[in-house]
Amino acid sequence: MELVDARVARMRQQRLLRRGDRGQDPLSAAVAPRHWESLGGLALPPGPVLDVGCGAGPPPPQAPGPVLRLDWLAGFAAPPDVLGDAARLPCRDGAFSLVLATNVLPWLGDPRPFFGEARRVLRDGGALSCTSLGPDTLAELRALGPFAGPKTMGFFDMHDLADMAQAAGLAEPVASCERLRFAYSSHGAMLRDLSGFGVLAAAGMDRSLGTPRRLAALLRRPEPVELTFEVVYLHAWAMPARPARGPAHWQEITLDRGRPPAR
């Protein structure tokens, strides 16, 4: 199941990079310090950190070791150290103690390959820490008449993300969420910010915004508007694989049915 149109997501990322504001949107600016603060409660092993989708943001101050910054676009003022795709990380197995991904999942067509790659590049005992957007994001769009409907929603529930992480071999996932509200002076200002959040890459999102005429009418609406973003925080661990247990590990137990039970 893909809730994001990966082709549209890449087109929007390239457009934002040409505008020079990718990685500087208010949502990323608000979520990044909250994400880093959540790392303070984790017993992170020392070692290298992979910052996936680093964009133009700074490295986390709580990093337990040197940070390798990875993104798939190179045109930032502070370019990433490595170019690569979150679904095909160009890194060797077991290279990192921490994989960090802030607001990367909302840009992905399917988070499962990323979870599998994160497990592959993590050493045993390492951690994945990432953020995403939950299904309550943009709930206010349901009240905008022609812009309403399920097509405006395109994000996985935190429980689904935890299940995906476990299916990829990551253990003990812990998911939590909070709701951030953003106020805009007009609907036009709201839509300009939405184009930088990745949410317009959600499957069907463009269609849900209606015809160009309806969209133009929305842009002309001068009244202020507020939007809710449900931010999901997910932490999971790369635990050593348990060895398969076969007949050599079986223990024989003999039951003596002829003797009465002891009193």
How many domains would you assign to the chain?
1
With beta carbons less than 8 A apart as the criterion, state whether 236 and 173 touch. Answer: yes
Instruction: Report the CATH number at residue 110.
Output: 3.40.50.150
149 pLDDT more than 50: no
How confident is the model at residue 243, as a pLDDT?
A: 60
Q: Which of 13-17, 63-67, 89-93, 138-142 has the lowest mean pLDDT?
A: 13-17
Distances (CA, A) of 182 to 21, 140, 148, 201, 239: 18, 11, 19, 19, 38
What residue spans of 85-146 are helical by DSSP H? 112-121
216 found inside a domain: no
What is the tens place of the pLDDT at every residue in 92-114? 999 999 999 998 888 787 899 99
Residue 35 in domain: yes
Residue 22 lies in a domain: yes
Whole-prediction pTM = 0.80
Domain assignment present for 72: yes
| 187-194 vs 212-220: helix crossing angle, rounded to 10 | 120
Is 24 among the domain residues? yes
Domain annotation covers residue 105: yes
Q: What is the pLDDT of residue 61?
A: 79
What tokens does 73 get? 């676009």
- pLDDT at residue 133 above 50? yes
- As a whole number of angstroms, the distance between CA 216 and CA 210 comes to 10
Mean pLDDT calculated for residue range 215-239: 85
What tens digit of pLDDT does each residue of 1-52 get? 445 666 666 676 666 666 655 445 678 778 889 998 888 888 888 999 999 9
Q: What domain range includes position 81? A: 6-138+154-180+230-240
Instruction: Dump pLDDT digits (tens) for 170-218.
Output: 999 999 999 999 998 887 788 777 766 655 555 555 555 555 566 667 6
122: in domain:
yes
Question: What residues contact residue 186 under an 8 Å CB cut-off, 6+ apart?
Answer: 221, 222, 223, 224, 225
Which helix (H) or strand (E) segment is 212 a member of?
A: helix 212-220
Burial 40-51 (b: 16+ CB within 10 A, else e): eeeebeebbbbb
